[in-house]
């Protein structure tokens, strides 16, 4: 793709679960001239995106925007609120939960990793009952935060965040509640205020459809209060200075101006479609994808239908098939990128992203690439997944479709 002397015809199918394809409207907005980040137009832009992004997180409280990838916003969530040596309860849902836990360790926190044994943890959602039991046992309240990943992008599992909140409340525990929505925001229903989340971490390059490069912390009043006494070192990530500057639409340092243009457009597109319609579209695409995988006779990585991800579908390979070799073949033959297996799932699965700027025909093309590639790779397929997805997507919409043939 990147070699300067070779441009494959047609468009590249970027079907990894983030970065997701950037709509032309966002790319055009990003090409506007970079303006003075202390000038009057900038303040108006800043106020507009800061207001709009709160609607996406469903919060009335501040959302801090960083010029960083999602990993930076993970670090910001921890360093703004916690003290060296604090115990943090995390839940092993997959690779991203594991990386966040490693970060907590490297920052001098004491994370405790709850989870199901073996590979089961990587095929199921967060178990709120296990969190509740652990918090009940923490009678001297040493645990300062509970951290979970909403949509585990390495596996295709979307956990029930409201259930985790209920578990914390049922245990009567004062720990802060932090949630990674880097791949779920603007794909799956999410309610920062209603679900009592203290810090929501997110990123630009998945459901929000932007290129990589900005990330977010939505901050509750309780988290903001914790930041006043928290002693982990932080400077660039410090909330208060940014929130103070944001009041008039500015940042204490140079913000990512052109990505904020794109964010402005993305918020406009998402709110125009309507958040509930965006979520329903993702659910529908995910269902069509799963029907294809089942028709192929392959196994879906997520083992619990209640927590299937609307963002991506993990496809397990039969024993003896190297998923990365299949991905490579599909990329080379059909100019289609699929997500690799991460961590414990390396080589055992690939991931089909159906997030952001994606519709039924986009996904059909991706599924066609998968089906042809799987056949070429010699993976035995039970039936055509493409036909199964077409049958699902082609069902008449309620009352809307008209037959033209007798
Ligand atoms: C992508 C992703 C991350 C990492 O974000 P970067 O932008 O790559 O730093 C973390 N958590 C989840 C759930 C993700 O999907």
pLDDT in tens, 5-23: 666 789 999 999 999 999 9
Look at residues 18, 274, 309 and name the one whose alpha carbon lies nearest to residue 188.
309
User: What digits encode the pLDDT tens for the residues 350-359?
Assistant: 999 999 999 9
Would you call 5 helix, strand, or coil by DSSP?
coil
Q: What gap in Å lies between CA 17 and CA 14, rounded to an integer?
A: 9
Using the structure block, give the residue that is written with the tokens 């690939």: 350
188, 209 contact by CB (below 8 A): no
Beta bridge partners of 15: 338
User: What digits encode the pLDDT tens for the residues 159-195?
Assistant: 999 999 999 999 999 999 999 999 999 999 999 999 9
Cα(139) to ligand 1 centroid in Å equals 33
Cα(388) to ligand 1 centroid in Å equals 31
Ligand 1, residues 18, 93, 190, 343: which to mutate, most atoms within 8 A of Cβ? 18
User: What digits encode the pLDDT tens for the residues 226-284?
Assistant: 999 999 999 999 999 999 999 999 999 999 999 999 999 999 999 999 999 999 999 99
Residues 6 or more apart in contact with residue 27 via CB below 8 angstroms: 262
* Atom from ligand 1 closest to the CA of residue 203: 7
Give 283's Cβ-side CA count (13 Å radius): 11
Architecture of the CATH domain 13-19+275-393: Alpha-Beta Complex (3.90)
Q: Has 351 been labeled as part of a binding site? A: yes
Contact residues of ligand 1, CB 6 A cut-off? 18, 69-71, 96, 149, 153, 180, 182-183, 203, 212
User: What digits encode the pLDDT tens for the residues 335-390?
Assistant: 999 999 999 999 999 999 999 999 999 999 999 999 999 999 999 999 999 999 99
117, 148 contact by CB (below 8 A): no
Cα(65) to ligand 1 centroid in Å equals 15
pLDDT surpassing 90 at residue 399: no
- Has domain 25-271 been given CATH number 3.40.50.1820? no
* Atom from ligand 1 closest to the CA of residue 183: 15
* Atom from ligand 1 closest to the CA of residue 69: 7
User: What distances in angstroms separate CA 248 from CA 220, 262, 268, one per listed residue?
Assistant: 20, 20, 21
Measured CA angle at 56 (ends 52, 57), to 5 deg: 115
User: What digits encode the pLDDT tens for the residues 324-334?
Assistant: 999 999 999 99
**pTM (two decimals):** 0.96
Residue 295 has a pLDDT of: 98
* Spans of all domains in the chain: 13-19+275-393, 25-271
Ligand 1, residues 16, 19, 66, 71: which to mutate, most atoms within 8 A of Cβ? 71
């Amino acid at each position: 793709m990147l070699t300067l002397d070779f441009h494959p015809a047609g468009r590249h199918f970027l079907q990894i679960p983030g970065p997701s394809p950037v709509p032309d409207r966002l790319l055009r907005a990003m090409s506007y001239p970079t303006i003075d980040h202390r000038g009057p137009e900038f303040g108006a832009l800043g106020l507009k995106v800061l207001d709009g992004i709160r609607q996406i997180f469903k919060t009335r409280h501040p959302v801090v925007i960083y010029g960083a990838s999602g990993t930076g916003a993970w670090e910001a969530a921890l360093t703004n609120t916690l003290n060296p040596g604090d115990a943090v309860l995390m839940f092993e849902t997959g690779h991203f939960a594991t990386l966040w836990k490693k970060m907590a360790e490297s920052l001098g926190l004491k994370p405790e990793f709850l989870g199901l044994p073996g590979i089961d943890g990587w095929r199921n959602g967060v178990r709120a009952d296990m969190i509740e039991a652990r918090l009940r046992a923490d009678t001297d309240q040493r645990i300062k935060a509970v951290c979970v990943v909403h949509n585990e992008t390495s596996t295709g599992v979307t956990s029930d965040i409201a259930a985790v909140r209920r578990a914390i409340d049922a245990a009567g525990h004062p720990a802060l509640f932090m949630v990674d929505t880097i791949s779920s925001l603007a794909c799956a229903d999410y309610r920062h205020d209603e679900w009592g989340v203290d810090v929501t971490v997110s990123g630009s390059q998945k459901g929000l459809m932007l290129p990589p490069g900005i990330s977010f912390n939505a901050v509750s009043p309780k988290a903001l209060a914790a930041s006043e006494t928290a002693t982990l070192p932080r400077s660039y990530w410090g909330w208060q200075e940014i929130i103070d500057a944001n009041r008039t639409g500015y940042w204490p340092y140079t913000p990512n101006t052109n990505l904020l243009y794109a964010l402005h457009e993305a918020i406009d597109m998402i709110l125009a479609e309507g958040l509930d319609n965006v979520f329903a579209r993702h659910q529908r695409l995910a269902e069509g994808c799963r029907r294809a995988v089942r028709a192929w006779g392959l196994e879906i990585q997520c083992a619990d239908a209640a927590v299937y991800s609307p963002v991506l579908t993990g496809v397990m390979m039969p024993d003896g098939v190297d998923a990365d070799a299949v991905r490579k073949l599909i990329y080379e033959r059909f100019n289609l990128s699929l997500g690799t297996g991460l961590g414990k799932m390396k080589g055992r699965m690939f991931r089909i992203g159906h997030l952001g700027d994606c519709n039924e025909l986009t996904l059909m093309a991706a599924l066609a690439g998968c089906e042809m590639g799987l056949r070429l790779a010699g993976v035995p397929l039970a039936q055509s997944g493409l036909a199964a997805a077409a049958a699902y997507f082609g069902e008449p919409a309620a009352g809307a479709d008209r037959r033209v043939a007798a």
